[in-house]
Amino acid sequence: MSTAAQPRARRARLLVAALCLPGLGHSPASYAAADDTGRIAVLEQKLDESLRLIRELSARVHELEARTPEAGTAVAAASAGAAVAPANQPETAQRLAVVEQTVNQMVASSGQHGDDSGMPLHGFADVGIGNHNAAFSQYQGADVGSLDFFLTPRLGSRTRALFELNFEVGADSAVGVDLERAQIGYQVGDSTTVWVGRFHTPYGYYNTAFHHGQQIAISLRRPRFIEFEDHGGIMPAHTVGVWVTGSERIGDEKLTYDLYAGNGQRIVGGILDMNNAGNTHGSAIVGGNLGLLLGGSLDGLKIGLDAFQTRIEDQGQSPSYFTRVKSYGTYAAYDTDSWEGIAEFDVFNDQDLTGSTGAHSSDAGFIQLGYRGGRYTPYTRYERGAFQQADHFFAAQTNGSSYVRAALGLRFDLDLVSALKLELAQTRLTDRVIRSYDEILMQYAIRF
């Protein structure tokens, strides 16, 4: 389970506090000095303000539920009319469910009925402009980023489902459609959920904390080396297989865990492919992630370790080349109402299985820091990747060259559902092709 929504549970508490709307608490007697027409006008104005705030609160809850599959299905259960959040739901999901239930009850009592279709649908979209494209530097000018649909069907108290359908522009400037996630799960216990299908590979923190809807992230784009595969990422961002995830409370701390296995990826046309239909050579990826969410004075801090092993086939060669890839990573994330800090570092120990180049060691990492100052969120990020070009796994990928990137950005929240982002960055490619380019990028990202 992605834990990105857990630190944001404190925002759910703000919603609960805001539910005691002042506009609904006034008695008509307080306007006894006014005539009936004036009193009715004042009350209607108060009611309109209250309904507006209710809609804003509901939108904020939908944003929180979109952050994790577990929280999303819990909120969906509340929206369907659950009287009380089930006791076997995780702590964060329970709080979100209660908030959503209360908001929906208030909306219903005001004659504003929520969606009861049984298919919660959320959407995300972004467009941009810059002297380079944020993902494909060979383009410049205006660009369409993606149109992302996020579905969490209501199936039952323990059955889970999450589907993410994304329309995005590729490296050839054509619009493609991809089923980014298609996972069906079952909560087998208070602390364990089993997912089957295509999911975000749970390494590090960033890959499962942020999906394809860019509006949920404070930054304008993902770190280059953990970009999604069709945007040039060099790590397997998606896996098709089985994923066991959960958490256990240990005093004030919470231990999170992920274990997964699935189809080994391949390289096709310089791009990683996760083998949706299955493997042709029986390769597999196996891995795990162990995290600790701290409490007390360190509330909001999560630290963790992850590792995976897979055998990658390069189908651009005849016969195909195979590389055994082993990755070991560590990460830390600090997420509060005011600060967001994320740092990840990965080491790759790869072995050439078909050639004579032997073993190779590479590494990559990034650090990002943002400050939430009301509607303005300035952020900075530094990232680098040092990839051995004698390692066929990196040499065969279009974006497998070593690089350094520094970025300074600003996010401005226009309202609860849209954000304008500006980023200044410099990217230096340090092997294969030696070049450097500066970027001035702007993005308008929304959710609906």
> SS3 of 425, please?
strand
Contacts of residue 252, Cβ cutoff 8 Å, sequence gap at least 6: 294, 295, 296
Of residues 341, 308, 339, the one with CA closest to residue 325: 308
**Cα separation of 251 and 249, whole Å?**
6
> SS3 of 439, please?
strand
- The DSSP call for residue 105 is H
**Cα separation of 221 and 31, whole Å?**
52
- Percent of the residues in the chain that have a pLDDT greater than 90, as a whole number: 63
pLDDT at 279: 84
The domain locations on the chain are 9-109, 121-447
| 296 alpha-carbon distance from chain centroid | 26
The answer to whether the CB of 187 falls within 8 A of the CB of 193 is yes
Q: Tell me the pTM.
A: 0.75
Residue spans of the chain under pLDDT 70: 1-53, 55-118
pLDDT at 364: 98
Cis peptide preceding 86, ω within 30 of 0: no
**Cα separation of 97 and 315, whole Å?**
47
Amino acid sitting at position 123: G
DSSP assignments along 335-402, one per residue: E-SSEEEEEEEEEEEEEESSSS--EEEEEEEEEEEEE-BTTEEEEEEEEEEE--TTSHHHHTSTT-S-
pLDDT at 71: 43
CATH architecture of 121-447: Beta Barrel (2.40)
Q: How far is CA 109 from CA 84, 103, 113, in A?
A: 18, 10, 8
**Cα separation of 283 and 281, whole Å?**
6
Beta bridge partners of 361: 349
Q: At what angle do helices 36-65 and 9-18 cross, to 10 degrees?
A: 170
* C-alpha dihedral, 76 to 216 to 225 to 291, nearest 10°: -60
Beta bridge partners of 403: 385, 429
Q: CB atoms < 10 A from the CB of 316, how many?
A: 13
pLDDT at 170: 86
**Cα separation of 133 and 439, whole Å?**
9
**Cα separation of 418 and 119, whole Å?**
23
The answer to whether the CB of 42 falls within 8 A of the CB of 23 is no
Q: CB atoms < 10 A from the CB of 367, how many?
A: 16
**Cα separation of 427 and 438, whole Å?**
6
Secondary structure element (H or E) that encloses residue 44, with its range: helix 36-65
**Cα separation of 338 and 370, whole Å?**
8
The answer to whether the CB of 268 falls within 8 A of the CB of 276 is no
